[in-house]
Amino acid sequence: MKGCALSLLIGCLALLPLPAALAHELAPPEEAVLLVVSGNITHTNVGDEAHFDRRMLEALPWQSIETSTPWTNGVSRYRGPLARALLTAVGAQGETLKVSALNNFMAEIPVSDFQRHDVILAMERDGERMPIRDYGPIFVLYPFDENPALRNETIRFRSVWQVHRVVVE
């Protein structure tokens, strides 16, 4: 009789929701890491950081933006995960992001930008993956043509390309 009660208790416990930290645990990357997110985050997969390979970034909600940019000719169609989806995936709890490029360029971006605008982490341009020599593999891209007010020096400075690291503060 005691065995049945124990089995029933274990079965009932299995139905309870997992603690938030376990329920939102990120799987480890299986391929080359494209992006590392650290700082004030609650969901990690390598120590106190969140490492993302391409497959993991592709699993986030993506959006397309058709826009021109101050650095390219004409209008292109860019695709990539919504920046705010990345922040949700890592459980970001901060107000500012320090976004770093492969060449050590760094810009501070308020999290509120990602809440007000459909900023994407562009990984494709006109249907092709963006190589490092052409702003890839990740380019923080604002919808410039959708909102001409975004065409200013502050936003241009925040539009980091060749992104490889984000620190949430």
Q: What is the mean pLDDT of residues 143-163?
A: 97
**Is the per-residue pLDDT at 1 higher than 60?**
no
pTM of the model: 0.84
Domains in the chain, CATH or no CATH each? 19-168 (3.90.420.10)
Among 95, 107, 90, 82, residue whose Cα is nearest residue 38: 90
pLDDT in the model for residue 24:
56
Give me the phi and psi of 61, to 5 degrees please. -60, 125
Asked if 50 and 33 touch (Cβ cutoff 8 Å), the reply is no
* DSSP state string for 64-122: EEEE--TTSSS-EEEEEEBHHHHHHHTT---SEEEEEETTS-EEEEEHHHHHHS--EEE
- Specify the 3-state DSSP secondary structure of 50: strand
Cα→Cα distances 86→16, 107, 147, 159, Å: 27, 17, 22, 16
Report d(CA 80, CA 153) in Å as an integer: 23
State the residue for tokens 């770093």: 100
Q: What is the mean pLDDT of residues 40-48?
A: 97
pLDDT in the model for residue 25:
74
Length of the chain: 169
